[in-house]
Amino acid sequence: MRRYLFPLIALLLALPALAAHQPMSDPPVRVGILMFDGVQIIDFAGPYEVFGNAGFGVVTVSPDGKPVTTAMGLKIDPDTSFAKAPPFDILLIPGGDVADAQRDTRILDFVRERSPPAKQVLSVCTGAFILSASGLLDGDKATTFTPRIDELAKAFPKVHVIRDVRWADNGKLVTSAGLSSGIDAALHVVAKIRGVDEARTVALRLEYDWKPEGGFVRSRFADRYLTKREVQSGVDWPKDATFDEYVSAGDMDRWVTRYHVRTATPATDLLDRLDVGVRKTGLWKPDGMHRWLSRQENRDVTLTFTTKAGSDASHYDLDMVVVASPAKQ
C-alpha cells in the first residue's frame, strides 16, 4: 500500500503547480494588459498574478512596445507593441496617473479596436477614465478609485457612475474600484469564464481572501461624507503652510484625518479659515466651535476641526473628524 501512496501524494502536490503554469505557447485564454507611463503597479501586477495562476496567457502591451515608467518609478519592458499585439480574449486597462493616457489617441483607438472582439474588458482603478474616454462605457455603470468617483461622474456624464461596490459588471465591460480591487475583479472575470470554484482555487493559491459577493468596499467609509475638494477650494490657505497627512483611518461611522502642519499662521487662525471654507460649500451648518452639521444619506453627520500643539507655535497637528449617526429607517 505504501508503495502506491507516495507516488499518489507526489502527484496531488504537483497538480496545483501544473494547473497554474500551463504552457503559454497556445494558452486557452489570452489576456492583453495595456501599459503606459504612469501605470500603477498593483493595478496590472495583481490581475497578472490572478490570470497567470488561472493558466491564462498574459501579454503586456504599450503603444510602441518600448519600456514604460510606472507611477512609482519602476521601469517595465512590455512584451509587444499595439501593432504587433496578438488577439485577446480579455483586455485589461489598469489605472494610475492616467491624465495623459486618457487623452492619447493611440491608446483610445487601441481600446476601441480591441474591445469588441474580446470576451471581457476590465478596467482597474482610474483605468475607468481611459475606458470612459473611449466612449465604450456610455450608458453603462462604472466605478473607480474612491477619491475620484465624483470626478469621473462629472467628466463623463453619459456613464452611470456608482460608488457602493468593489466592482461593477455590465456583462462584457467590468470596472473595479481602487488598487487591490483589481485582484477581486480579475477573480470575478475568472469565475465568469471558468466558474466560481476555479476562481476560489486561484484565490487560495494566492492566499487571498476573495469574497465573490464583493467584500471590502472602501467608498462606504465615513470620509465619503467629507467633500474635501469642495472644502479645500474655499479655504484661504496660508502661503507658507505645509501639510503632512500621517493618519487617515476609520470605519463606516467615524473617520479621522490628521495632518502635521508647519506654518507661521497660528492654529486658531487656521481653524477660522477652515470654517470659512466649510461655510462656502453651503452643505454644512454651524453646530458649535469649529463644528459643523449636515444631513446626508438619512444620517446626521458632524465635521469637527481641532488642533494640538507641537514643538513650537509654527508646528502643530490638525485633526478633521467626521462622525455619522446611525441610519434611521
Gap between the Cα atoms of 91 and 96, Å rounded: 17
Q: Of 195, 229, 234, 232, nearest to 212 (Cα)?
A: 195
Gap between the Cα atoms of 274 and 290, Å rounded: 8
Q: What is the DSSP string of 49-96?
A: HHHHHTT-EEEEEESSS--EE-TTS-EE--SEETTTPPP-SEEEE--B
Pairing type for strands 160-161 and 68-69 reads unpaired
Gap between the Cα atoms of 134 and 277, Å rounded: 36
CB burial of 44-63 (b: ≥16 within 10 Å; e: otherwise) equals bbbbbbbbbbbbbbbbbbbb
From the centroid of its chain, how far is CA 314?
A: 36
Q: What's the full length of the chain, in residues?
A: 329
The residue whose grid cell reads 470654517 is: 275
Q: Considering the candidates 50, 108, 118, 125, report the single residue annotated as catalytic.
A: 125
Three-class DSSP category at 115? coil
CB within 8 A of 2, min separation 6: which ones? none
Q: Which DSSP state fits 39?
A: B
- Separation of first and last alpha carbons in the chain: 65
Gap between the Cα atoms of 250 and 256, Å rounded: 6
Query: Hey, what's the cell of 6?
Result: 507516495
Decide if 125 is catalytic.
Answer: yes
Q: Which residues are catalytic?
A: 125
